Structure 1
Amino acid sequence: MSNSHLFLKSGFPRAPLQNGLGRYVCQLQRITLKFCKNNGSSKGMRDFIENHLVDFAKENPGIVVYVKPRRHRTPVLVGEYLNGDREWLSCRNSTQEEITKWVDLLRTQNGSSSSLRLRKMWHTDVPSIQGPWTPFLLRSPEAHGQEYPSVEASKPLDAPQTATEKLIELFRQQKQLGDEDVLSQKRAE
């Protein structure tokens, strides 16, 4: 097990600003594309800028796009989110399609998902006063000493009677009544 989680910020998972309960607010505030104009590792980034960047900017008017040429540096995507987090991705030797996927990933994230060590696996804004549910919460006390697999344990508690079982019970009752009538007639004779 690695200790890389020790260097991450820790916190509780939260939906940013109750996003999705009303209208959707894109959490990506700005994206910066850094590349070299003539370095070979930036070819995919240059192709993306030439072919897809204008369409991306038209489809997402709420996202500010910066293009930053830098000499002799590796291509980088930097996404900045409304909560102040920054996501940094190296795009060295990436193709145009891969960069399109990375940009789409940055656009759909909320910024804190990958850079946050979760302190709990679940979170709710309104915690229950009854406590969390466990698998042993509503289990009957008779189940503690049973060996599994068990036919009795597999039956649901207080199961409603099936139609077939009701018919069998009615038949037995009628048969008992019929037998009692026959016995009473024999006694009368």
Structure 2
Amino acid sequence: MLPPILRAKLGSAPANGHSAFLPHIRKLVVEYCDKWPSSANTRTFLLNHIQDVAKQNPHVEVVVRQRAHKEPIVRGFYVNNRDKVVALNGLEVTQIQTKVELLLDSSGAKIKPLKKTVESSTEAARGIWSGLHAERPTL
């Protein structure tokens, strides 16, 4: 007699693939001061563009918070339990839009250096060969 198949075993964990896409970002928080002049462009961005960002990204929770007497920032929270923070002081409205898109497109992973030397604990299988130090072949 075969053992019964439990329903929990038939389920699968959602993952990115051919038929499904799970975005990496889950929450976007924009924090600004209502009085400081460094938040003026951020306030303009919030009045004119934040609804468009929220409509284009329905999978992202968009939160706007006041942050009294502090510089404006935008913070992205990701599904891998990491967050990224970008300062918005001194940026124009179009630059703020670019920074928000950068957070929306980011995966939340740590930045890894591309140029990294390879170090091995074992010697190469054939050793190091040099044409200058090799014996001359005899025919």
Identity of aligned residues (%): 28
Find the counterpart in structure 1 of residue 84 from structure 2: 87
More helix by share: 1
- CA shift, 1:88, in A, is 1.0
The answer as to whether partners of 2:15 and 2:22 remain within 8 angstroms in 1 is no
What are the ranges of 5 or more consecutive residues in structure 2 without an aligned counterpart? 1-13, 118-125, 133-139
Q: Do residues 112 (structure 1) and 109 (structure 2) align?
A: yes
- CA shift, 1:36, in A, is 0.6
Q: Do residues 59 (structure 1) and 68 (structure 2) align?
A: no
The partner residue of 2:96 within 99, 108, 117 is: 99
The answer as to whether partners of 1:35 and 1:45 remain within 8 angstroms in 2 is yes
Q: Which amino acid aligns with 1:80?
A: F
The answer as to whether partners of 1:43 and 1:95 remain within 8 angstroms in 2 is no
The partner residue of 2:35 within 26, 29, 38 is: 38
- Go from structure 1 to structure 2 and tell me whether the alpha carbon gap of 1:20 and 1:97 turns closer, same or farther (over 3 Å shift): farther
Task: Give the 5 Å matches for 1:19-38.
Answer: 19-38=16-35
Greater gyration radius: 1
Please report the TM-score for the alignment, with normalisation by the length of structure 1.
Answer: 0.51
Deviation per residue, 1:91-113 (Å, 9 max, x gap): 11211111100100000110014
- CA shift, 1:24, in A, is 2.2
**Other structure's SS at 1:93 match:** coil
- Go from structure 1 to structure 2 and tell me whether the alpha carbon gap of 1:109 and 1:38 turns closer, same or farther (over 3 Å shift): same
**Other structure's SS at 2:81 match:** coil
**Other structure's SS at 1:54 match:** helix
Q: Which amino acid aligns with 1:108?
A: D
How many matched pairs? Answer: 112
- CA shift, 1:145, in A, is 3.9
The answer as to whether partners of 2:15 and 2:21 remain within 8 angstroms in 1 is no
- CA shift, 1:38, in A, is 1.7
The partner residue of 1:75 within 72, 75, 78 is: 72
The answer as to whether partners of 1:30 and 1:79 remain within 8 angstroms in 2 is yes
Q: Which amino acid aligns with 1:23?
A: A
User: Hey, which bits of structure 1, 4+ residues long, moved more than 6 A?
Assistant: none
- CA shift, 1:25, in A, is 1.6
Query: How much is the aligned-residue C-alpha RMSD, in angstroms?
Result: 3.1
- Alpha-carbon distance in 2 for matches of 1:83, 1:52: 27
